[in-house]
Chain A
Amino acid sequence: MAAEEHAIDALGQFKLTTALGPLGASVNFTQSNLMMLISGLLILGLMYFGARPQAVVPGRLQALAEMAYEGIRKMCIDQIGEEGKAFFPFVFTLFMFVLIGNLLGLLPFSFTYTSHIAVTLALAMTVIVLVTVVALRIHGLHFFSYFFPTGAPKLLAPIIIPVEIISYLSRPVSLSIRLFANMVAGHVMFEVFASFILMMAASHALGSFGVVGAVGPMVLNVLLMGFELLVAFLQAYVFAILTCIYLHDAVHLH
């Protein structure tokens, strides 16, 4: 088969290599870490240069910074209530880190750090540990009544309590896998359609028709890029809003 010589290497793009030459190699500084550093600097730069002009009619950068800030602040207060103001910095940091990571990954020759389960699981575990600590601090041992909803018949306790505990423990898993799988699936799709372009254009059987036909997957890839921009924003938003919902549960217990 002719396709064998252009086998699709869909997962090769997620391989970690060391960045910054021999210095990076000596401390295992990967390109994933480099992208995290860049995204951190970008976020700091956006907030610093966006907040500095303090114009009444904001410029582009200031409008972007204010939109992100006010949007997430409103989401925190809507979802958690007045206590949400205390958690706003945490949720905003998470949102920006995930959003910039997703968007940076769409640039050619870059790397999506959110496409690694290690990164997303670490973020999700941070959220869950914080939620549990907050709940224990506010409610003390009363927190454990969370696992048995008030008003449920006592007879059902042996069934409800294990189910509630499992659903509580599965939160970090679903939170991390959602983000990681979305990113992996998107980038694998890019890779597959990009391979189709090469396979069609290089095919001997199709000849010059193949070169014309290769426009098809090319157009699809362009459309996919638009879709992935949406997904990049949506997943960051979902990550932040689920964090808010979990925090609401911790603060108010149902």
Chain B
Amino acid sequence: MDVAAAKALGAGIAVIALAGVGIGIGNIFSALVTSVARNPSARDQVFGLGILGFALTEAVALFALLIAFLILFT
């Protein structure tokens, strides 16, 4: 297999992690919507927590993306 093809394949495999991150972010926002729907007055406190969880989960996606970039562009 030539190197360019292997790089493209490797980058593709590296971003499989995004599937898990997608599930995670979906979970976070579904929980956020449910809790705000149940108790709208808690919105301000819950929203900050939700954004924090989103950012922490998104970081995992970015680690995978970073590996893909490293494979592709270096």
A interface residues, Cβ below 8 angstroms from B: 10-11, 174, 177-178, 181-182, 184-185, 188, 234-235, 237-238, 241-242
Known pairs A177-B59, A181-B59; list 17 more (Cβ under 8 Å): A11-B73, A174-B59, A177-B66, A178-B59, A181-B62, A182-B58, A182-B62, A185-B65, A185-B66, A185-B69, A234-B51, A234-B55, A235-B55, A237-B51, A238-B51, A241-B48, A241-B52
Residues of B within 8 A of A11 (CB): 69, 73
Residues of A within 8 A of B69 (CB): 10-11, 184-185, 188
Residues of A within 8 A of B51 (CB): 234, 237-238
Q: Total contacts A to B, CB within 8 angstroms?
A: 38
Residues of A within 8 A of B52 (CB): 238, 241-242
Residue of B52, B55, B63 with most partner-chain A CB within 10 A: B55
The 10 closest A-B pairs by CB, nearest first: A181-B62, A238-B55, A178-B59, A181-B66, A11-B73, A185-B65, A185-B62, A10-B73, A182-B62, A241-B52
Cα-based distance from A67 to B52 in the complex (angstroms): 20
Residues of A within 8 A of B65 (CB): 181, 185
B interface residues, Cβ below 8 angstroms from A: 48, 51-52, 55, 58-59, 62-63, 65-66, 69, 72-73
Sample of 24 A–B contacts (CB below 8 Å): A10-B69, A10-B72, A10-B73, A11-B69, A177-B59, A177-B62, A177-B66, A178-B62, A181-B59, A181-B62, A181-B65, A184-B66, A184-B69, A185-B66, A185-B69, A234-B55, A235-B55, A237-B51, A238-B51, A238-B52, A238-B55, A241-B48, A241-B52, A242-B52
* Dominant secondary structure at the A interface: helix
B55 A181 Cβ-Cβ under 8 A: no
Q: How far is the CB of B73 from chain A (nearest CB, A)?
A: 5
Which of A181, A188, A234 touches B63 (beta carbons < 8 Å)?
A: A181
Q: How far is the CB of B36 from chain A (nearest CB, A)?
A: 18
Q: How far is the CB of A129 from chain B (nearest CB, A)?
A: 21
Closest to B45 in A: A78
Cα-based distance from A178 to B59 in the complex (angstroms): 5
Closest to A11 in B: B73
Q: How far is the CB of A171 from chain B (nearest CB, A)?
A: 12
